A = this chain, B = another copy of it.
Amino acid sequence: MLEVLKQYIVSKVSLSEEEVTKILACFKQKKLRKKQYLLQEGDVCHFIAFIAKGCLRLYRVDDKGNDHIVQFGFENYWMSERESAFSQKPTQYCIDAIEDSEILVCQTTDFMRIQKEIPAFEKMMIDLQSKNFGIIQKRINSALSYTAEEKYHELLHFQPEIIQRIPSTMIAAYLGISRETLSRIRNQVNKK
């Protein structure tokens, strides 16, 4: 399972064998069953996780009990709640597994340390974060400007993996529309 992370790292940056080993040493394997929590509202997030297999979600539950999904994570994605991890304050979000998953977990403190020790690794993470920033900006944009149908088509076009793998209730919670509306849109699309 560590092998997946190793492959991921060497594909992104060139590091010595030694450095790679040092990085991998900070991670612990963990298996998550479907629906199992990795982080719950009120916890402080002390980790960053790499997804070797499966898929997770980061979401928030509102007063009425509805959840709103901020982000999905699949194989080769990182998952964390940065706000809490940096501020060391309790989070308002949850993370759980959508499928049985295998992840590699690193404590925030260790993660900061290896970033400092291995600048190339730090650079990789900074690049990733700025890319992420772009994605999240795009997401704000589409949430603000698109109709339900347009949101669905955007997803179909840019993240078809989500549509294939994720149950539709969750897709609705990700797009900010009701299950029923999503269902109707799907039907229309299929008829065409």
Measuring CB to CB, which residues of chain A are less than 8 angstroms from any residue of chain B?
60, 62, 66, 68, 70, 82-83, 85-87, 93, 126-127, 129-131, 133-134, 136-137, 139-141, 143-145, 175-176
Contact between chains at A86 and B145 (CB < 8 Å): no
Q: Which residues on B sit within 8 Å (CB–CB) of A133?
A: 82-83, 136
Q: Which residues on B sit within 8 Å (CB–CB) of A144?
A: 68, 143, 175-176
Contact between chains at A143 and B83 (CB < 8 Å): no
Interface of A is mostly: helix
How many Å lie between the Cα of A134 and that of B86 in the bound state?
10
In this complex, the member of A127, A136, A144 whose beta carbon has the largest number of chain B beta carbons within 10 angstroms is A144
In this complex, the member of A70, A133, A139 whose beta carbon has the largest number of chain B beta carbons within 10 angstroms is A133
Contact between chains at B140 and A136 (CB < 8 Å): yes
Choice from B86, B127, B141 contacting A86 with Cβ under 8 Å: B127
Given contacts A66-B145, A143-B140, contact A83 B176 (CB under 8 A): no
Q: Closest approach, in angstroms, between the C-beta of A74 and any C-beta of chain B? A: 19
Contact between chains at B140 and A83 (CB < 8 Å): no
Choice from B93, B129, B130 contacting A85 with Cβ under 8 Å: B130
How many Å lie between the Cα of A175 and that of B144 in the bound state?
7
Q: Closest approach, in angstroms, between the C-beta of A161 and any C-beta of chain B? A: 19
How many Å lie between the Cα of A157 and that of B68 in the bound state?
21
Contact between chains at B83 and A130 (CB < 8 Å): yes
Q: Which residues on B sit within 8 Å (CB–CB) of A136?
A: 133, 136-137, 140
